[in-house]
Structure 1
């Protein structure tokens, strides 16, 4: 990993998990001192974050973390619903038995964690579940687009619906519904359940 990659990965994680909240000014010199690198890789990392639309530059103010409002969140989850819904529909027509087994194993692991109250890792496992489906449905382009969309908006860990015990069972049921549709080769059902599932996440995020 280059120094620029290192700085980018650290800042990306801090922004996505709201350890650097929206509206915060990012001074290259301060970031360089904190991470023990020179200013050059910090500036390169900031340019990448600007390309990701996570920071913006203003004259005389420098780089600032973008503060996203309700309209941006609605657009984000709407776009995710379209991309991941399409991925589920396409996956239903091409998923293999081994791929389906892998998804079922991941789902079973999530269910076991939920049963024992281990909620902290469910959000990360859910992301892998979603992206694996999109990769199956659209390995050429769709998977990369799904990751780009997810990286475009910070999702603080504490805002995850998987930390809400009342939501966990509902979301696991949605995953089970997606799996059933994939096994049946029912692309329309897989797309519908995925879209409803992602939109419910958006509603939860907006409320919190």
Structure 2
């Protein structure tokens, strides 16, 4: 990994998880000192983040993390539902037994973590579950698009629906339904459950 790639990956994760919130100014020198690199790779990473529309440049202010509102939130979950729903539909026709074993094991791990109250682990596991399904369904384009969409809108750790006991049960039931549809090769059901699942997550975020 190059230094620029390292800086980009760190800042991307910090913005995506809202550890660096919207409206925060990013000074290249300060970032360079914090990450132990020169200013050059930081500037390269910032240009890439600008291309991703995660930061913007303003005269006399430099780079600032984009502060997204309710309309962007609705667009984010709407786009996710389309991309991930299509991924689930296509995956139903392409999924292999090895894929199903991987998904079953991850789902079982999530059920065990939920049972033992390890809710802080569920958000990242859910991300892996969703992206694996999209990768199975659309390995040429959809997987990349799904990651780009997910990286475009910050989700603060404390806003994760996986920290809400009532939501954990609902979300895991949806995962189980998607998995059953994939096992049955039912693309219609896989897409419908995935779309409803993602939209429900969006409604939760809007209310919280």
| TM-score, normalization by structure 2 | 0.97
Corresponding residue of 1:86? 86
Corresponding residue of 1:104? 104
Moved more, 106-115 or 149-158: 149-158
Corresponding residue of 2:50? 50
How far off is 1:80 after superposition?
0.4
Secondary structure at the residue paired with 1:120? helix
Corresponding residue of 1:120? 120
How many angstroms apart in 2 are the aligned matches of 1:181 and 1:35? Answer: 45
How far off is 1:36 after superposition?
2.0
Secondary structure at the residue paired with 2:154? coil
How many angstroms apart in 2 are the aligned matches of 1:66 and 1:137? Answer: 31
Corresponding residue of 1:207? 207
Corresponding residue of 1:132? 132
How many angstroms apart in 2 are the aligned matches of 1:65 and 1:87? Answer: 30
Following TM superposition, the consecutive aligned residue runs of length 4 or more in structure 1 with deviations greater than 2 angstroms are none
Corresponding residue of 1:28? 28
Any idea what the Cα deviations from partners look like across 1:81-103, whole Å, max 9, x if unmatched? 00000000011112112211211
Any idea what the Cα deviations from partners look like across 1:90-133, whole Å, max 9, x if unmatched? 11112112211211111011000000000011010001100111
Give the aligned length. Answer: 208
Corresponding residue of 1:161? 161
How many angstroms apart in 1 are the aligned matches of 2:34 and 2:144? Answer: 32
| TM-score, normalization by structure 1 | 0.97
How far off is 1:9 after superposition?
1.6
How many angstroms apart in 1 are the aligned matches of 2:152 and 2:190? Answer: 25
How many angstroms apart in 2 are the aligned matches of 1:148 and 1:63? Answer: 20
How many angstroms apart in 1 are the aligned matches of 2:35 and 2:61? Answer: 21
Corresponding residue of 1:41? 41
Moved more, 180-189 or 69-78: 180-189
How far off is 1:5 after superposition?
1.4
Corresponding residue of 1:77? 77
Any idea what the Cα deviations from partners look like across 1:24-63, whole Å, max 9, x if unmatched? 1111112112222211111001001111111001112110
How many angstroms apart in 1 are the aligned matches of 2:205 and 2:163? Answer: 12
Structure 1 stretches lacking a partner, 5+ long:
none
Secondary structure at the residue paired with 1:132? helix
Moved more, 34-43 or 44-53: 34-43
